[in-house]
Amino acid sequence: MLLSIVMLLTLIWLFAWHFSMIFASLLVMSLILGVLGYWWYRDRPTEMKYTKWVMELTAGWITVAIIANLGAFFVSADIVPDMISHRSFVYFIGFPALA
Contacts of 56 (CB under 8 A, 6+ apart): 37, 40
Looking at residue 7, its pLDDT comes to 81
pLDDT (tens digit, 9 = 90+) per residue, 10-65?
888 878 877 777 778 778 888 887 887 777 777 766 666 666 766 777 777 777 77
**Stretch 60-77: mean pLDDT, rounded?**
68
Distance, in Å, from the CA atom of 60 to the CA atom of 54, rounded to the nearest integer, reads: 10
Nearest one of 68, 59, 54 to 26, comparing CA atoms? 68
Domain residue limits, the chain: 2-98
Q: Where are the alpha helices (DSSP H) in 19-85?
A: 22-41, 46-76
Predicted TM-score (pTM) above 0.75 = no
